[in-house]
Amino acid sequence: MDKQVLADDPSKRQKLVLGDHTFASISDVVCKPIESKAPTWWLIGLFASISFLLLLLSMLGYLVWEGVGVWGLNNPVMWGWDLVTFVFWIGIGHAGTLISAILFLFRQKWRTSINRFAEAMTIFAVMCAGLYIGFHVGRFWVAYYLFPVPNSMQMWGNFRSPLLWDLFAVSTYFTISLLFWYVGLVPDLATLRDRAATKTRKIVYGIFSMGWRGANRHWQHYEKAYMILAALSTPLVLSVHSIVSFDFAASQLPGWHTTIFPPYFVAGAIFSGFAMVMTLMLLAREIFGLKDMVTMHHLETMNKIILATGTMVGYAYGMEFFVAWYSGNEYEAFAFVSRAFGPYAWAYWTMVSCNVLFPQLFWFKKIRTSIPIMFVISIIVNIGMWFERFVITVTSLHRDFLPSSWEYYSPTWVEICQFLGSFGLFFTLFLLFLKFLPMIAISEVKGIMPEANPHHGETHHG
């Protein structure tokens, strides 16, 4: 084989940062939104987000005050929009760690311009998810029974319950993601501290940058810590959604009790996470003028991942039907036929078209590189993935073993408002992040610029 092809010559690769950027200009571009006055659109956006956040808080207050009966749940369908939205947010929270950790370990350098952004999204999405899992219980005030609190009664949780595994999986994932995000932020916070024009900024960024001076030892420790955290979170990327899928797969309900669930859920989570990163990234790229750092190459790569994971999800849909038929289990077969042709057929076909059909358009390079189309598709995928969780959760429950208990489920205004409100929480946090933290990892982007190469500027010796 030709040696030239195998050699990974960085100079031959596509440039990850376009334009005529220097280290200084990168810092300037990324820090500009933080250091300048808040633009009007940001204030309007924040106001709108906080309004929705308040809507969320009042819905939660109402919920705790009156009981979960304010939702539309009923006897067979004991989980509805609460669990659907929980899984939806957890899924979205998947892309961040994948981009940060797995792509980091695989030395996918293009990740540097989107990882911070994706990680922030992860953390906020997991917060939304956590909120749902905390508030979906009937007695919120004793939800702490879930934790293994030492007590004189020797009452412990039930370690056989997937819901308990889920709790640990999500909280671990959240903790690691937060640490990972924060560790990555430290050099950039120091940059902000050094550039700070006001005393408050100096003090606040100073505290959070933990005395970072960019010393050699600092960098050594930083790199090691970052590597360790990346290694720790890599299995989590796979485990957290696998365990979320156990909530369903470890039960005996037809439509839930499926061995395909863990990989299927993970693929779906990456699918939806990338779509959400895409949606937010396209907006930020436009607004903050980050086109040099988030290039079409990035976008196209992400679209390829969306196409790949979307196809996996489509395969899973098909496999579910095949296995339902092949197993010869009449209840299982009924559950799937009922999904596609029963009272919730509208939800099923919404899901299939959003998740399977639309991403297939990315086979065409023209579509894959068209910003408006990819924006629309990313939103369609998000809608589709919400419906996927709805289809799994609700259609399986509403018609199970005994036809006597079958019942149709529809949400109430409380569930709808709470769902909208969770976007309020997400966007409030996200807008605050955009305003006060560097949305692109400054130090990492600098690290992949040609200037960072110790041999930069040297002439090749043939």
Partner 1 sequence: MSQIKDRSYWRSAEDDSSSAEVQAFVDREFPAEASVLEDPLSRRTFLKLMGASIALAGASGCTMNIRKPVQKIRPYASAPEQLVPGRPVYYATSMAVGLDVAGLLVESHEGRPTKVEGNPQHPMGTGAANAWHQASVLNLYDPDRLKTPLFQGEAATLAQFKQWVLGASATWRKDKGRGLAILTEENVSPAYQRVLASLKAEFPELGVYRYDSVNQDAIVEGLSLVAGRSALPLYDFAAANRVLSLDADFLGMDLGNLKYAKAFSARRDPENKDDMNRLYMAESHYSVTGGKADHRFRLSPQAIEGLAIEVAVRVLAKVGGYSDVVSGLGRFTGVRQSGLAGVTLDAIVSDLLSEGKRSLVVAGANMPAWVHGLVALVNQALGSVGTSLTYHAVHGLFDTVGDSLSSIRDLSAAIRQEKVSALIVVGGNPVYDTPVDVDFAAAMMAVPTSVHLATHPNETSAVATWQVPRSHVLESWGDFQAIDGTVSVVQPLIQPLYSSLSDTSFLALVGGKDADDFALLRQGYRSLSDAAWRKVLHNGIVSESGASLSFRAKTSTLLSTLGGLRDLGPVGLQVSFRPDFKVYDGRFANNGWLQELPDPVTKLTWDNAAFVSRTTARKLGLDPRVGGIDSPIQDVNDRETSSKVMLAKLTVNGQELTTAVMVQPGHADDTVTLLFGYGRNSVGRVGKNTGFNVYPVFGGSYTQAGATLEKLPGTYKVAVTQDHWGMEGRPLYREGDVAEYKENPEFAKEMEEHPPLISPWKEKAYDTGYQWGMAIDLSKCTGCNACLIACQSENNIPIVGKDQVANGREMHWIRLDRYYEGTEEDAVMVQQPVTCLQCENAPCEQVCPVAATTHSDEGLNDMTYNRCIGTKYCSNNCPVKVRRFNFLDYHQRNPQAVAKDRVHLFDYLKEPDKTVQKQFNPNVTVRMRGVMEKCTYCVQRISSTRIVAKNEGRAIQDGEIQTACAQTCPSDAIAFGNILDSESRVAKLKAQHRDYHMLSGLHLKARTSYLAAIRNPNPRLETVERVS
Return residues touching partner 1 (CB under 8 A). 61-62, 65-70, 72-79, 136-140, 142-143, 145-146, 155-158, 160-164, 167, 247, 250-253, 330-331, 334, 343, 397, 400-408, 412-414
CB of 306 to partner 1, least distance (A): 31
For residue 439, give every residue at least 6 positions away whose Cβ sits within 8 Å of its Cβ, in sequence order, or none.
30, 33, 116, 117, 120, 284, 288, 290, 433
**CB-nearer residue toward partner 1: 162 or 314:** 162
**CB-nearer residue toward partner 1: 87 or 190:** 87
CB of 384 to partner 1, least distance (A): 24
**CB-nearer residue toward partner 1: 65 or 366:** 65
Classified as helix, coil or strand, 15 is coil
**CB-nearer residue toward partner 1: 73 or 374:** 73
**CB-nearer residue toward partner 1: 82 or 188:** 82
CB of 406 to partner 1, least distance (A): 5
In 3D space, the residue among 437, 415, 447, 450 whose CA is nearest the CA of residue 182 turns out to be 437
For residue 201, give every residue at least 6 positions away whose Cβ sits within 8 Å of its Cβ, in sequence order, or none.
192, 193
Distances from the Cα of 42 to the Cαs of 37, 122, 168, 204, 256, in angstroms? 10, 21, 36, 22, 42
Burial of 274 (0-12, 13-18, 19+ CB in 10 A): buried
CB of 10 to partner 1, least distance (A): 50
CB of 61 to partner 1, least distance (A): 7
For residue 356, give every residue at least 6 positions away whose Cβ sits within 8 Å of its Cβ, in sequence order, or none.
310, 311, 313, 314, 317
CB of 284 to partner 1, least distance (A): 37
Cα 64 to the chain's mean position, in Å?
27
**CB-nearer residue toward partner 1: 40 or 151:** 151
